[in-house]
A and B are shown apart, each in its own frame.
Chain A
Amino acid sequence: MGRLSPLELWPEVAPEWILNLPQWLEDIFYKFYKCIIFDDRYTLYFTGLRNTLILTFLALLLGIALGVVVALIRVTWDKNGAEMRGVPKVVVGFLNSVSKLYLTVIRGTPVVVQLLILYFVIFAASRNKILVGALSFGINSGAYVAEIIRSGIMSIDSGQMEAGRSLGFGYVATMRHIILPQAFKNVLPTLANEFIVLLKETAVAGYVSLQDVTYAGNIIGGNAYDYLFPLLIAAAIYLILVLFFTFLVGKLERRLRNSER
């Protein structure tokens, strides 16, 4: 016995009162059934949601880590490079050149192409889509985060660094305890925007068949021969995630703003 189609199953699973509704209303319920309940299709959205969240979260961590490091290298070189001598000058100068190359290449090419290169060329041996995806989106996001954080650091008055150094803090300790906390606070809205962009950008992960939210909507739409509901649901999931994230950032921002006013 072949599997029954949703249309064949519909009269059996639908409650009496739905079948008695006007045709156009019944159609909506039927589509809902076809795109969500039939064949346990809702599980695909959950898998997609889980994968999108893991992907975004890992990429976020990597992006911030990379971004802070690259921003620090660039700022250190721009502000102190001229006064450096010997080995530190060579090391920081080299790291600065690498950072600039990284920024140029990553910001100058589409993230989809970067993802495809990473997945099909560099990590062709790996089938771990989530990790390769997170690496790809993290490396991409890091370039933007780096420039955001760099602008934050540059906006801090040079007197802050001098005050920290005059108390006896080293360069790194002053950055960590005094400059970076202020820089982060200043760029938080811009960073939040970058994270929202990142979350939505992971939608192209389907290019390497990573089963994220978009992929789920796409697959279900294809199976059901009806794209409206699946794609609307995918869109709604992104929207809710973005709204929730915006809310969290707003809360954090208000807490950090305590010191002003």
Chain B
Amino acid sequence: MSDRDIIIKVEDLKKYYNGGAIKALDGVSLEVKRGEVIVIIGPSGSGKSTFLRSLNLLETPTSGRILFDGSDITRKGININQYRQKMGMVFQHFNLFPHMTVMGNMTLAPIKLLKKTKAEAEEKAMELLERVNLAERANAYPSQLSGGQKQRIAIVRALCMEPEVMLFDEPTSALDPEMVGEVLDVMKILATGGMTMAVVTHEMGFAREVGDRVIFMDGGTIIEEGSPAEMFDSPKSDRLQSFLSKVL
């Protein structure tokens, strides 16, 4: 495997709070290949969200390095905004901009940051909206949408920036059960289309079906990783076994 294939490389990432009293991340190393779908699972408080949020530096690591496409984004004086454009992020609570329409949400960043014209940005947004069957909601405000619709919009909003990687932070945890499917379907289509994805989730079915690799975290470290079949059918560590026995 050449280095060209690796889009994200994490080296011994640590995140401490209160001067080391709380170790949210305690030495995590990981390589993500282009086109790979990584699913991160683990009990709450295991550091999986902190890890995901560190990848685009929404959390500032205490130590360690993150290489994105070969460049160290944790070094001093770097323009992180430029790298964040290449890493779309989807949040548990959607975080749509409530004062803007769906179209406004989707075109703000492309117009301001990619310097697209309004027409170009809207054309791209419309194309994406059609792919998630929400074209007719283009002029709706977020408060007029269901949870599942909001999250699908949040996904396509991130896609409008044409990112190379998509990060998902428990994208279905805040949804009513009947809306989980529609969001997972969109994520599946993305994965099939070759998007590099890192997904923190409690949806074990999704992890098994869509994930190329499953990472199990606990206590701020990676306890075990492997293909979905290995992880779910023959877990090696006690902690993964006990975790799976509770969630499956």
A: which residues have CB within 8 A of B?
Answer: 83, 157, 159-160, 162-163, 165-170, 173, 177-178, 181-182, 185, 256, 258-261
- Expressed in whole angstroms, the Cα–Cα distance for A159 and B94 within the complex equals 8
Structural contact, A259 and B60, CB atoms closer than 8 A: no
Structural contact, B88 and A177, CB atoms closer than 8 A: no
Contact partner of A165 (CB less than 8 A), chosen from B58, B99, B141, B157, is B58
The A-contacting residues of B in range 86-123, CB under 8 angstroms, are 87-89, 91, 93, 95-101, 108-109, 112-113
Structural contact, A168 and B99, CB atoms closer than 8 A: no
- Expressed in whole angstroms, the Cα–Cα distance for A234 and B47 within the complex equals 66
> Looking across the interface, which residue of chain A has its beta carbon closest to that of B105?
A163
- Expressed in whole angstroms, the Cα–Cα distance for A177 and B60 within the complex equals 24
Interface of A: prevailing SS: helix
Residue B44 at the chain A interface, CB threshold 8 Å: no
Chain B residue numbers with a CB within 8 Å of A160 are 95, 97
Chain B residue numbers with a CB within 8 Å of A173 are 112
Chain B residue numbers with a CB within 8 Å of A259 are 98-101, 141-143
Chain A residue numbers with a CB within 8 Å of B101 are 259
B147 to chain A, nearest CB (A): 14
Residue B84 at the chain A interface, CB threshold 8 Å: yes
Structural contact, A166 and B97, CB atoms closer than 8 A: no
Bitwise interface map of B from 192 to 218 toward A, beta carbon under 8 Å scored 1, else 0? 000000000000000000000000000
- Expressed in whole angstroms, the Cα–Cα distance for A235 and B158 within the complex equals 56
> Looking across the interface, which residue of chain B has its beta carbon closest to that of A259?
B141
Contact partner of A163 (CB less than 8 A), chosen from B87, B91, B113, B143, is B91
Chain A residue numbers with a CB within 8 Å of B93 are 157, 159
4 tightest A-B CB contacts, nearest first? A168-B85, A163-B95, A166-B89, A159-B95
Chain B residue numbers with a CB within 8 Å of A261 are 143-144
B112 to chain A, nearest CB (A): 7
- Expressed in whole angstroms, the Cα–Cα distance for A260 and B141 within the complex equals 7
Q: A83-B60, A159-B93, A260-B143 are in contact. Are A167 and B98 (CB under 8 A)?
A: no
- Expressed in whole angstroms, the Cα–Cα distance for A179 and B58 within the complex equals 17
> Looking across the interface, which residue of chain A has its beta carbon closest to that of B101?
A259
- Expressed in whole angstroms, the Cα–Cα distance for A10 and B146 within the complex equals 75
Structural contact, A258 and B141, CB atoms closer than 8 A: yes
B66 to chain A, nearest CB (A): 15
- Expressed in whole angstroms, the Cα–Cα distance for A169 and B161 within the complex equals 11
A202 to chain B, nearest CB (A): 32
Chain B residue numbers with a CB within 8 Å of A162 are 58, 89, 91, 95
Residue B82 at the chain A interface, CB threshold 8 Å: yes
- Expressed in whole angstroms, the Cα–Cα distance for A160 and B97 within the complex equals 7
Q: List 30 A-B contacts (CB under 8 A).
A: A83-B60, A159-B95, A162-B58, A162-B89, A163-B89, A163-B91, A163-B95, A163-B97, A166-B58, A166-B91, A166-B158, A167-B84, A167-B113, A167-B157, A168-B82, A168-B109, A168-B113, A169-B109, A169-B112, A170-B81, A177-B112, A178-B97, A181-B99, A182-B99, A256-B99, A258-B141, A259-B98, A259-B99, A261-B143, A261-B144
New A-B pairs, 9, CB < 8 Å, besides A168-B113, A259-B143: A83-B60, A157-B93, A160-B95, A167-B84, A167-B88, A167-B113, A173-B112, A258-B141, A260-B141
> Looking across the interface, which residue of chain A has its beta carbon closest to that of B98?
A259
Chain B residue numbers with a CB within 8 Å of A181 are 99
B142 to chain A, nearest CB (A): 8
A258 to chain B, nearest CB (A): 7
Structural contact, A185 and B88, CB atoms closer than 8 A: no
- Expressed in whole angstroms, the Cα–Cα distance for A168 and B141 within the complex equals 22
Chain B residue numbers with a CB within 8 Å of A258 are 141
Structural contact, A167 and B91, CB atoms closer than 8 A: no
B103 to chain A, nearest CB (A): 13
